[in-house]
Amino acid sequence: LGLRLPGKGYPSPEGDAPMALPPRYTWLDSLGEGGQGSVELVMDQDLGRCVALKTLHSHKTNKEDLIDLYQESRITGQLEHPHIMPIYDVGQLPDGCLYYTMPRLPGESLHHVLALRRRGNAETLARWPLMPLLQVLGKVCQGVGYAHAHGVIHRDLKPANILLGEHGEVLVVDWGIARVLHSVDGARGRLWSREGEERVERVRGSPPYMAPEQVKHPDHVSPAADVFCLGVILYEVLCRESPFPGSTLDE
């Protein structure tokens, strides 16, 4: 419609924005960052809503990093399930870096909830007794099962990648290292680094949750590796501690 709606209740600190954005978006705040990239809170002027925009760090310019972010947005965008984070938009920033947008989910991660339970936090124990946590895990299993049925293995399931909304939402996020066994949309499912050459898988994941075969044989990981991760999370929910408390990958 050509309309640019102001962000009601939010400042527009464009001078403080960490990056240039397409005209559709106005930067509002930084939500966090990890080893690969950052997540920014932006106003989608076309639809008048706040969304989270994920992009790579400015120094992440090699081919593999770009492929990983593209694969993450494409895989997540094709997995349409109530318990998998949806993708709203994907594109390039003015500097050429890739980005995608998704809902900003108010709430907390399962990791935060379990950490407070381990510390015996009375408020968390009252708000999150065992049965609601098991129901959360059941919803996670539904989302992961849907992904497996569509040929996608997450490979990094852990409480930090399970977001809990204020109104009962449960979303599995961060499909950045997912492995595609076959494509959701009928196209070739595996991404390739050069014409005719398959990308070589490397060991990636979160050691306390990784199945042994994910460490020893990353090229041959099956959906069973995700089931292993879910079992570790179930153990943490039931016992309030990790089954593998080692400080190194071997431990």
pLDDT of 95-134, one tens digit each? 888 899 999 887 899 999 999 999 999 999 999 999 999 9
User: What pLDDT, in 10s, does the model give residues 15-37?
Assistant: 577 889 999 999 999 988 776 78
Determine which one of 44, 68, 89, 156 is catalytic: 156
Report d(CA 146, CA 139) in Å as an integer: 11
Helix ranges, 90-246 (H) = 110-118, 122-127, 130-149, 212-216, 223-239
Q: Which pLDDT value is given to residue 36?
A: 74
| Residue 95 falls in the annotated catalytic set | no
Reply yes or no on whether the pLDDT at 14 is more than 60: no
Using alpha carbons, select from 17, 13, 55 the residue that is nearest to residue 37.
Answer: 55
**CA 249 – CA 203 distance, rounded (Å):** 11
* Residue pLDDT, tens place only, 54-70: 998 777 777 777 888 88
Q: pLDDT class for 12, splitting at 50, 70, 90? A: very low
> How much is the pLDDT for 185?
52
Looking at residue 183, what is its pLDDT? Answer: 56
Q: What is the pLDDT of residues 150-208, one digit of tens each?
A: 999 999 999 999 999 989 999 999 888 888 886 555 444 443 333 444 555 666 778 88
pLDDT at 2 over 60: no
SS3 state of residue 45: coil
